[in-house]
Amino acid sequence: MRYLFALRSRMTEVRQKTDFLRKEMEFSVNEVSSSEFPVIRRGVLKLRGQSGQECQVETPGCFFHTHFGSIPHLTPDDLQYVKDSLSCIPLNMTLSTASVFADALAGYEKSVGAFVGYPSSVVYMSLHDPLVPLKPAMNEKATIGIWNRTGKKKLTPEQFMDMQDKLKPDSVQIMCDMDTEMEGSSNQRLTKSYDSSLRWLDRCLELMKDRSSHYPVLATVGGGSDPWRRKNFCLEAANRKVDGFVIDGFGSGWIAKWKEWEVTGSSLFGPHEALIRESIRSLPKDKPRFIHAPLSPTAVVQLVRMGVDVFDTSYPAALADRGQALIRTGDFCFEVWTMSEKGYFDDLTSLSTRCGCYTCEKYTRAYIHHLIACEEINAGVLLMIHNLNEYLKFFRDIRKSMDEGKFHLWMPQAEAGRQQADRD
């Protein structure tokens, strides 16, 4: 009898552990149809950290972009000024920066989120910082190359998984060979990228079976600029046991030219739009689609219309780096203001009359202009608080418009940006 009780208890423990692993990432999505748009995706992404904390991200939504584990310009205490702060923060860390402290975390018993000052967080580990252009010839036949403060680090699938075991993230973007350009990549290079990415994906999934740590994994959609390879890569990746997808493989130009589409989204379109649509068309509907890039509200609206679910906050960080503010000029319109311009020297109005964030309630445009002119660190802090609040409110408003059947109201500005891109 005692043996049967112990066996039953052990079976219950195993079942509970299996259920826990199965529920580390759950994604529920509703496809809302209308006369204007055949399909719009509105969903909820639920994540559970390895420490047991739970995080819920409504989609379309975004993770908090970090640099070396920190939200740019802000300390953990500064998040009290971000109105969309959650009890559990979804952090997007990058392997290219986190690899620096991987060895220090090897014997650390707590989560990587706690290590960087965010104990109440769920950490998604992507590959590269979206604000740092990829360096050419990063990858080789058997290794992926990542760059950090110490230089280039080469990783085989085995070394990649060992590093993840040290960092202990809550979800991971699997290594891939995305070092392909939109123009100039030969068929041989595209084939190598295609084959290497699938081979590494399979190897990483195989290695996960024999490890004690389990976490959701995201496959990166590759194929470069070739629609046939991209479609087939999506179909192949969809047949693997992955929890979501990252749309990538557009080369370094995808990141390096972000300044050109901060308002109009110009460099997003052309060849990129067709490839994104081809990628999404070939992916399963019940799994989340991520994209990592500094995306303006205009570009986000277009990507949401195509079916992308999850973004990041690298765009407000990039604006703060450049001394710029994201300003809402209408219910569905935004502008980018450069606060170092002389016109703000004696402007004593609040940064934005439509925003109620800490920066806009307490400080004037003239004061922020002064901080930038004096190269004060608080300029970036105040701009980041404002930009982050404005960007997160934008996502809340997009979701609200979907729920009310008014998403089409966002389209005039986005369509104007697209037409401008076509003219360019």
Using DSSP's 3-state secondary structure scheme, residue 154 falls into strand
Q: How far is CA 358 from the centre of its chain?
A: 25
Using DSSP's 3-state secondary structure scheme, residue 356 falls into coil
DSSP character at residue 67: B
CA distance 276 to 294: 16
Other C-beta atoms lying within 10 Å of the C-beta of residue 412: 11
DSSP 243-296: SEEEE----THHHHTGGGGSSS-GGGSTHHHHHHHHHHHTS-TTS-EE--S---
Query: Residue 176 annotated as binding?
Result: no
Query: Residue 386 annotated as binding?
Result: yes
Contact between residue 221 and residue 177 where contact means Cβ atoms under 8 Å apart? no
Q: How far is CA 280 from the centre of its chain?
A: 16
Burial group, residue 330, by CB count within 10 angstroms (0-12, 13-18, 19+):
exposed
Known binding-site residues for Zn(2+) equal: 355, 357, 360, 386
Known binding-site residues equal: 355, 357, 360, 386
